[in-house]
Amino acid sequence: MFTGIVNGIATIVFIEKKIKMDTLTVKLWSNFSKTLQLGDSISHNGCCLTIKHIHQNNIICDVIEETLKKTNLGMLKIGDKINVERALKYGDEIGGHIISGHVISTVEVSDVQKYDNNHVIWLKVNDTKLMKYLFYKGFICIDGISLTIGDIVNNQFCVNIIPQTLLSTTIKSKKNGSILNMEIDLYTQTIVDTTERFLKKNMIN
């Protein structure tokens, strides 16, 4: 589990392409990487990956075919920057919201509105079946960042990005056409799906 409060920005330094899998080598910063251990979970742009090898400040993780299909990790190139976060530990402060690290789909940046003290980013949902899980002021995780939905129009929604988030994540570099990972709020999904099943069952009866 994660919180969507990004620990910092890491760099892709090597990508090994394999059959139905990529292996990513990611360079971290020393005070973040020195306490990591093999088997630890690290969020890469919101995707939960397991550390298989550590070398100095670099970690190596495998990305299976299903993750490559559902996320933007398969689009990464050497030198690209990603948001990273360590898994939540018991007793840690939850500054964002509970995130599983299981990206459900990607979204496309359709508009970036820049103001003096914040950005408003509009995102197009490619899988319109997911729109039922999006609500005004509801939680959403975008590229590993815990955000709040500011508005919804048809199959698009917007998020407001505060200065601290612009400073500490990769969201500041996104532009029209950028593909970002999206994880919907687990509790919202559970409520919607449970309600739908209940209503469907009552209609049949």
Structural domain count of the chain: 2
* pLDDT of res. 157: 98
Do 52 and 122 reside in the same domain of the chain? Answer: no
Asked whether the predicted pLDDT for residue 205 surpasses 70, the reply is no
Give SS3 for 43.
strand
* pLDDT of res. 201: 79
Q: What is the pTM of this model?
A: 0.93
Compute φ and ψ for 34, nearest 5 degrees.
Answer: -70, -20
Asked whether the predicted pLDDT for residue 68 surpasses 80, the reply is yes
* pLDDT of res. 35: 86
Do 38 and 118 reside in the same domain of the chain? Answer: no
Q: What percent of the chain has pLDDT over 90?
A: 83
Do 67 and 111 reside in the same domain of the chain? Answer: no
Do 51 and 127 reside in the same domain of the chain? Answer: no
Contacts of 62 (CB under 8 A, 6+ apart): 21, 22, 23, 24, 49, 50, 52
Do 63 and 116 reside in the same domain of the chain? Answer: no
Asked whether the predicted pLDDT for residue 203 surpasses 80, the reply is no
For 22-50, how does the pLDDT look when each residue is reduced to its tens digit (9 = 90+)? Answer: 999 999 998 888 889 999 999 999 999 99
Q: In this structure, what CATH number is given to the domain that contains residue 51? A: 2.40.30.20
Q: What is the mean pLDDT of residues 190-194?
A: 93
| Averaged pLDDT of the chain | 94
Cα–Cα dist 180/174, whole Å: 9
* pLDDT of res. 31: 86
**Residue at 12 is within a domain:** yes
**Residue at 199 is within a domain:** no
Domain that holds residue 111: 105-194
Let me know the angle formed at the C-alpha of 183 by 36 and 16, rounded to the nearest 5 degrees.
50
Residue 41: its H or E element: strand 41-44
**Residue at 30 is within a domain:** yes
* pLDDT of res. 33: 84
Do 80 and 118 reside in the same domain of the chain? Answer: no
Cα–Cα dist 66/52, whole Å: 18
Asked whether the predicted pLDDT for residue 151 surpasses 70, the reply is yes
**Residue at 96 is within a domain:** no
**Residue at 142 is within a domain:** yes
Do 77 and 112 reside in the same domain of the chain? Answer: no
* pLDDT of res. 13: 98
Residue corresponding to tokens 């197009």: 124
For 72-130, how does the pLDDT look when each residue is reduced to its tens digit (9 = 90+)? Answer: 999 999 999 999 999 987 777 788 899 999 999 999 999 999 988 889 999 999 899 99
Asked whether the predicted pLDDT for residue 134 surpasses 90, the reply is yes
Asked whether the predicted pLDDT for residue 179 surpasses 90, the reply is yes
**Residue at 162 is within a domain:** yes
Tally of CB atoms within 10 A around 101 = 20
Do 120 and 76 reside in the same domain of the chain? Answer: no
Do 118 and 63 reside in the same domain of the chain? Answer: no
**Residue at 91 is within a domain:** no
Q: What is the mean pLDDT of residues 54-60?
A: 95
Do 127 and 187 reside in the same domain of the chain? Answer: yes
Helices marked H in 89-181: 163-168
